[in-house]
Amino acid sequence: MRAFVKKFLQAANIDCGEVRVGLMSYSTKVTVEFHLNTYNTKAELIDAIDKVQWRFGSTNTADGLKTMHEEMFSKANGDRPGVQNICVFMTGGISNIDDYKTIPEAEKAREKGIHIYVIGIFHKVFSEVIGIASHPASLNVFAVDSFDELEGLDTTIFESDISVLHGLMSYSTKVTVEFHLNTYNTKAELIDAIDKVPWRYGSTNTADGLKTMHEEMFSKANGDRPGVQNICIIMTDGVSNINYERTIPEAKKARQKGIHIYAIGIALKDLSEVNGIASQPACLNAFAVDSFDDLEDLDKKIFKSYCSGTYILFYFCIGVSLFIKITC
C-alpha cells in the first residue's frame, strides 16, 4: 500500500502547491497520518509515507469516512475553497464496526462535493464499496486481487471519469458568448460549433471578457455544477486597451470564486497583465508563445501542471477565451 501511494503521487505537482495530500489509515480506530497542510514538498511526503505503520484491528470504515469529510477536508487542516476534493479509498475488508453508518457517511462526503474512488482488494462482495464510491460505480470502483494489479491504477483513475462540459466565448471590443457549458452534449456538435465561430475585429476588452466568464458562463443556469473544478483558458495577443484598469480586478474576482485560470499570451512583449490574470503561481499558469506553432503540445504542459488526467479541448484563436468545466 505504501509503495502504491508513493507511485500514485509521482505525477502530482506538489512542490508548487497545485496538489495537497493528506493520508489517513484506519482499522479499529482511525489514525490521521498527516493532513493536507502538513507537508509542502514531495520529498517530505514520500518520507512520511515510508514511516506509516501497520496497525492491526477490525474494519471501522464508517469512522474512517467520517474523519475524512469532517476533519481532513476542513479549512483548518488545509482544505481550499473552490478546489476539487478527491478521496482515494483502499480497503481489504467489509465494515464490521458500525457497519450501518458506512454508506450514510459516504453519502455525507459526496454531498460536500468530495469525489470518492474506492479500491477493493480481495473483495468478493461489492455492495458496500459500490455504495461508498461516487456514481457511477463502474467508473469509480476498482477491484483487484493483489497489490501488483494496482500498477498503473493512478492513470486509470484519472482517465476513467473525466466528463467535460465546454463553453466558448470570444471578445474584442465587445464580448460574444459563442455557446454555454450546457449548449452541446457531443464532441461532434462542439467541433461543428467551433468551426462556425467568425472572426470579430476590434480592440482588446479583456476586462469584460473576464467579467462575462465568471458572472454569466460559470452560472448554474448556463451549466455550472457545484463541487466541480472550474477552469478558464484565456488566450490573448494584446494588452487590454478598453477598461484596462478593471482587467486584473475581474481576474481576481474569478479566482476568488475558485475558477482556475490559465493565461496564454501570444507574441506579447509585456507579460505583466497575463501574469496578473493567471492563477498563482504564474510560472505554472501563464504561458508565453511567439506564434501559433508554439502552441503545439501546450495542452500537455497545462495538464501536467494542473493534475493528471484532466482533458481539455483547445480552440486556438487570438482574442478567444475557452471556458471549461471538468465534471465527474
Residue range 162-194, pLDDT digits in tens: 456 788 998 889 999 999 988 887 777 888 888
The beta strand positions in 11-95, using DSSP E, are: 23-26, 30-34, 85-91
User: DSSP code of 216?
Assistant: I
Strands (E), the chain: 23-26, 30-34, 85-91, 114-121, 141-144, 163-171, 175-179, 230-236, 259-266, 286-289, 320-327
Q: What is the pLDDT of residue 51?
A: 94
Looking up cell 500537455 gives: 300
Confidence of residue 161 (pLDDT cuts 50, 70, 90): very low
What is the percent of the chain with per-residue pLDDT over 90, rounded to a whole number? Answer: 36
- Asked if 91 and 201 sit in the same domain, the reply is no
pTM for the whole thing?
0.52
Using pLDDT thresholds of 50, 70 and 90, give the confidence band for residue 137.
Answer: confident
Q: Which residues pair with 117 in a beta bridge?
A: 88
Q: Is the predicted pLDDT of residue 20 greater than 60, yes or no?
A: yes
Of these ranges, 118-122, 211-215, 236-240, the one predicted with the greatest mean pLDDT is 211-215
Q: What are the grid coordinates assigned to 153, written together? A: 491504477
- CA dihedral sign of residues 37, 42, 43, 45: positive
Domain harbouring 170, CATH code? 3.40.50.410
Residue 98, all three cell numbers: 458500525
Q: Are residues 169 and 154 in the same domain?
A: no
pLDDT at res. 319: 44
Give the count of domains, the chain.
2
User: Among residues 120, 150, 113, which one has the least CA distance to residue 230?
Assistant: 113
Q: Residue 158's pLDDT band (boundaries 50, 70, 90)?
A: very low
Domain end call among 160, 181, 203: 160
Q: What is the DSSP letter of 39?
A: -
The mean pLDDT of 77-96, rounded to a whole number, is 86
pLDDT at 155: 59
Residues 82 and 220 in one domain: no
Same domain as 309, residue 197:
yes
* Cβ atoms 32, 69 nearer than 8 A: no
- pLDDT at position 299 is 61
Cα(202)–Cα(186) distance, integer angstroms = 31
| pLDDT in the model for residue 184 | 83
3-class secondary structure, 185: coil
Find out whether 86 and 43 touch, Cβ atoms under 8 Å: no
Same domain (yes/no): 294, 188? yes
pLDDT at 30: 93
My answer on whether 130 and 240 are in the same domain is no
Handedness of CA 215, 219, 225, 230 (dihedral sign): negative
What is the domain extent for residue 314? 163-327
Alpha-carbon distances, residue 223 vs 18, 173, 192, 315, 325 (angstroms) = 25, 26, 20, 20, 9
3-class DSSP state of 174 = coil
Is residue 224 domain-shared with residue 285, that is, in the same domain? Answer: yes
* Same-domain check for residues 35 and 129: yes
Task: Answer yes or no: do 60 and 198 share one domain.
Answer: no
Q: Do residues 154 and 222 share a domain?
A: no
